[in-house]
A and B are shown apart, each in its own frame.
Chain A
Amino acid sequence: GAGVSQSPSNKVTEKGKDVELRCDPISGHTALYWYRQSLGQGLEFLIYFQGNSAPDKSGLPSDRFSAERTGGSVSTLTIQRTQQEDSAVYLCASSYANYGYTFGSGTRLTVV
């Protein structure tokens, strides 16, 4: 597609439930990133995929968070047993090498 697509755009879930957030990167972009943005805050790095290399998971806040990237394209971020502090906007970005970092519009997650 022309841009990075994320779905759903909004998600409300009950505390303790699992959620899956999806990201479709720009076609041909080899790198994919997940960031989290809490209300009024900056962007917090979560995880980074580059080609077939092992992902950089250094930003994942706990073992409840995991992400996959299938076929070098679509990525899914999974949060298990959601907590209220997980409420945030989850942003996905993709890039080609070190260029063209492009963000999606994000998924706003609300845990009630």
Chain B
Amino acid sequence: GESVGLHLPTLSVQEGDNSIINCAYSNSASDYFIWYKQESGKGPQFIIDIRSNMDKRQGQRVTVLLNKTVKHLSLQIAATQPGDSAVYFCAENRAAGNKLTFGGGTRVLVKP
């Protein structure tokens, strides 16, 4: 079925290094994508979003890249900090409906 999935379940990163989290989606009709961060015991927290008419969007220390040709989404975190340790989810939204479909999540562990 149509889904959003992630390549790596766990990513260990040295503090100060850059992190890259990848996500594949299968529905070419998806027009809106969001990255969420979820810390233990909390709900998902919005990080950054991107619409399908863009291929790159930057925020504070984060960049989202969208490659529609291969249906691939990535989140780059610059200078990863201990506070970045969390599970990261990508989600897609289709124009015909507003419900978000989530990937399985990637756990990022930042080593001091």
Contacts and interface: CB of A to CB of B under 8 A. Distances in A.
Nearest to B5: A42
Interface stretch (B54-62, B70-78, B94-102): B94-102
Residues of B in contact with A, size category: 20 to 34
A43 B89 contact: yes
Given A41-B104, A42-B89, A98-B93, A106 B99 contact: no
A47 B80 CA distance: 35
Contacts of B41: 105
Q: Is the interface of A mostly helix, strand, loop or mixed?
A: strand
Contact of B98 (A42, A48, A102): A48
Contacts of A101: 34, 46, 91, 100
Residues of A in contact with B, size category: 20 to 34
A112 to B, nearest CB: 20
Contacts of A105: 41-43
A43 B36 CA distance: 11
Interface string A9-45: 0000000000000000000000101010000011101
Nearest to A102: B46
Nearest to A46: B99
B44 A91 contact: yes
Interface in B24-67: 32, 34, 36, 41-46
B104 to A, nearest CB: 4
Given A91-B43, A103-B43, A105-B42, A42 B99 contact: no
Nearest to A4: B43
Given A42-B104, A106-B43, A98 B89 contact: no
Contacts of A4: 43
B99 A56 contact: yes
Contacts of B104: 41-42
Interface string A86-112: 000001010101101111111000000
Interface of A: 4, 31, 33, 35, 41-43, 45, 48, 50, 56, 59, 91, 93, 95, 97-98, 100-106
